[in-house]
Amino acid sequence: MALRRSVLTLISTRKTSLRLSAIKNFSAQSEPQEEEKRKTHFGFEIVNEDEKTKKVHQVFETVADKYDLMNDVMSLGVHRVWKDIFMMRLAPTPGTKLLDMAGGTGDITFRYMNYLKNKGSLSADKPCSVTVCDINQHMLDVGKVRAERQGYTKDTSVDIDWLCADAENLPLPDDSYSAYTIAFGIRNCTHIDKVLEEAYRVLQPGGRFLCLEFSQLPNSTMQWMYDQYSFQMIPVMGQLIAGQWKPYKYLVESIRQFPDQEKFKAMIEEAGFRQVTYENLTFGVCAIHSGFKI
Ligand SMILES: C[S@@+](CC[C@H](N)C(=O)[O-])C[C@H]1O[C@@H](n2cnc3c(N)ncnc32)[C@H](O)[C@@H]1O
């Protein structure tokens, strides 16, 4: 009897330890996968996802005051042309209720208002409404000063709402905007799919998503030349003009990590948008992607 009890105890202990080791093995297998999921790119560095959000925030915190000047220097002014084309593609009307995501210092928002003004569609009886949203308050503060300098204040027919929020988790109701723009912002976000989901959610049925972002050159010689310029020159310019090397190194690296035109188009479709198209600017240095919530 005593022998039987000992054998049973042994079997039960063995079973428990087997079960424990199975659980341990499972966790050992699942832990690295979980870890894997939480890793992402910050330029060419592999970092934890929450670390990326902090680092991106730091980048724009550091560059906010020199952001507009550096854009002109690095692109030799061409970013202005890309943004003008972007606004021409949106072709807003007075009824366009715009959410300018990752709006930073307001370049796209000011173009939206200037576009309406130039068409004679902006007056006290035809006011327009735009929300500039960015995760970085410092960038928005620079934008507010610019808006005042340009005379765009509440008493002029323009209602600008400055919102500090994350594109991946917007404190905005469903179906509330007729257009969503994001210019040079989406590649800085940790989860592009979440940004697209949120864009889809806040757009009204029939609303338009329009994204301007750096992209990939289809020709390898041109890509090589562009790489030489961006990797050799841009961080140096950052150091000389803004006294910062790292944010500009991140800038060029992040461009290389962003999906190419076709992959990004597929991601936009995956989020539910229809009639998704893209247009290359300057041979593919940038691309405008467009889609509709239908
Ligand atoms: C390169 S700037 C573009 C600013 C402006 N759209 C323009 O074209 O000049 C990128 C902006 O994205 C913002 N950003 C980065 N991650 C964000 C996020 N998760 N949600 C909202 N804005 C974000 C940054 O703070 C920064 O102002």
Rounded mean pLDDT of 289-294?
97
- pLDDT tens digit sequence for 144-200: 999 999 888 766 677 899 999 999 999 999 999 999 999 999 999 999 999 999 999
Q: Is any ligand 1 atom within 6 A of the Cβ of residue 168? A: yes
Specify the residue with its C-alpha closest to ligand 1, atom 10: 185
Rounded mean pLDDT of 236-261?
93
Ligand 1 centroid to residue 182 C-alpha, Å: 8
Ligand 1 centroid to residue 6 C-alpha, Å: 68
Amino acid code (one letter) for 257: Q
What's this model's pTM, rounded to 2 decimal places? 0.86
**Confidence at 218, pLDDT banded by 50, 70, 90:** confident
Encoded tokens for 233: 């020159």
Percent of all residues in the chain with a pLDDT value above 70, rounded to a whole number: 86
Q: Is any ligand 1 atom within 6 A of the Cβ of residue 104? A: yes
Ligand 1 centroid to residue 134 C-alpha, Å: 6
Rounded mean pLDDT of 6-16?
39
Kindly provide the b/e burial profile for residues 246-263, where b requires at least 16 CB atoms within 10 angstroms of the residue's own CB.
Answer: ebbbbbbbbbbebbebee
Rounded mean pLDDT of 217-235?
93
Encoded tokens for 3: 């022998």
Q: Give me the pLDDT at residue 232, please.
A: 93
Q: Give me the pLDDT at residue 36, please.
A: 55
H helices of 38-124, in order, are 49-63, 67-75, 78-90, 107-118
Q: Please give the distance of CA 190 from its chain centroid, rounded to a whole number.
A: 8
pLDDT beyond 60 at 274? yes
Mutation choice for ligand 1 from 49, 105, 184, 188, CB with most ligand atoms inside 8 A: 188
Q: Is 223 exposed, middle or buried (0-12, 13-18, 19+ CB in 10 A)?
A: middle
Rounded mean pLDDT of 266-277?
98
pLDDT beyond 70 at 35? no
More confident site: 226 or 128: 226
Q: Is any ligand 1 atom within 6 A of the Cβ of residue 59? A: no
Ligand 1 centroid to residue 184 C-alpha, Å: 7
pLDDT beyond 50 at 57? yes
Ligand 1 centroid to residue 174 C-alpha, Å: 22
Q: Are 157 and 122 in contact (CB under 8 A)?
A: yes
Q: 32, 66, 26: which is closest to 240 by C-alpha?
A: 66
Q: Give me the pLDDT at residue 33, please.
A: 54
Ligand 1 centroid to residue 101 C-alpha, Å: 7
pLDDT beyond 60 at 18? no
Specify the residue with its C-alpha closest to ligand 1, atom 13: 102
Q: Which atom of ligand 1 is nearest to the CA of 195?
A: 19
Encoded tokens for 163: 């919102």
Encoded tokens for 51: 């670390």
Ligand 1 centroid to residue 57 C-alpha, Å: 9
Q: Is any ligand 1 atom within 6 A of the Cβ of residue 188? A: yes
Rounded mean pLDDT of 77-98?
96
What does pLDDT average to over the chain?
A: 87
Encoded tokens for 170: 């917007």
Domains of the chain: residue spans and CATH:
45-218+259-292 (3.40.50.150)
pLDDT beyond 50 at 20? no
Q: What angle do CA 268, 269, 275 make, to 5 degrees?
A: 105
Rounded mean pLDDT of 243-265?
94
Q: Is any ligand 1 atom within 6 A of the Cβ of residue 108? A: yes
Q: Is any ligand 1 atom within 6 A of the Cβ of residue 139? A: yes
More confident site: 34 or 175: 175
Q: Is any ligand 1 atom within 6 A of the Cβ of residue 147? A: no
Q: Is any ligand 1 atom within 6 A of the Cβ of residue 254? A: no
